[in-house]
Amino acid sequence: MHPSEAPPTPALWQEEHNNFERDACPRYVPTQSSDEKKDELALRNQYNGRTPKEIAAEAEALKRTAAAREATVATPADTPAALRAQIADELVERQDFLAAMQKAAAPMLISMPPRPHARSVSSRRTRLCSRSAAGAPS
């Protein structure tokens, strides 16, 4: 190709090659050389399967969880008096909710006509059993 000519556009290139689409190259995935892999395995063997970075990160996480645990233990909300007060508040809320539901349902219950009671299943069974016993040959 001459330097003055522009490179063909992808659409033009596809037309020249019977609409054949060229796939993009696979993305580069960084890999380790065999020496780097060996160094890492030797380091892991030295520290029982972990690298020093992993050990330091784990120690930092343990410090954070211990600090968080201490912060939760020191809260006054976990005292027995606070828990009793919380339970009492929840009971009052529940009773208020149930009272409100009863008030809301009362007009609906008054306006509904009573339903006729259907026969129970056990009474049908006894009638069927008594009929079959009466009609059975002796």
Q: What is the pLDDT of residue 116?
A: 65
Q: What is the pLDDT of residue 138?
A: 47
Q: What is the pLDDT of residue 79?
A: 82
- Give the span between the Cα atoms of 107 and 118, in whole angstroms: 25
The DSSP code sequence of 89-129 is HHHHHHHHHHHHHHHHHHHHHHHSPPPPPPPPHHHHHHHHH
Beta-carbon contacts of 83 under 8 Å, excluding residues fewer than 6 positions away, are 77
C-alpha R_g of the chain:
41
The mean pLDDT values, 10 residues at a time, for the chain of 138 residues are: 61 69 73 90 90 92 88 70 91 94 79 62 57 56
